[in-house]
Amino acid sequence: PIPCVPWQSQTSGQYQRRVHGDLTDWDFELVTKASTGLTAGSWVIEFYNQQCENCRQLAPIWEHLAMELDEKINLARVDISANEYLSRRFNITSLPKIILFSSPRNQMAAYEGELSFSDLKKFLENDSDFYAR
């Protein structure tokens, strides 16, 4: 099994904002257009597993990001236990794993920082097209 990575949350509370939802092996490319570089804006994808405690702890932060960054960046999730192709394609070796697919840079970047709201938001705001949407 893929290990969960340790982290500390600096944000608490419940957020009801809906993210784009879970993407699958079947619709990931159709929705994100990640391999073509012709994405409709940048995407940030959280790769997770239902049994990963750290992934569950990230959920309210992820919802807060979706609410805060609405219409600025696309957020979605991939459950790696149900989508093995994507897990292999993006070499997911620890969870949760967050990858930014940057439209203006036509590249992807794996997030390596602390999984706090402020650090994640700062990482996403560094995408040069962030405020153009």
Order of strands, sheet of 74-79, starting from the edge strand that comes earlier in the sequence: 74-79, 43-48, 97-102, 107-110
Alpha-carbon gap, residue 85 to 100, rounded angstroms: 18
Alpha-carbon gap, residue 1 to 105, rounded angstroms: 33
Which one-letter amino acid corresponds to residue 4?
C
Q: Active-site residue numbers?
A: 52, 55
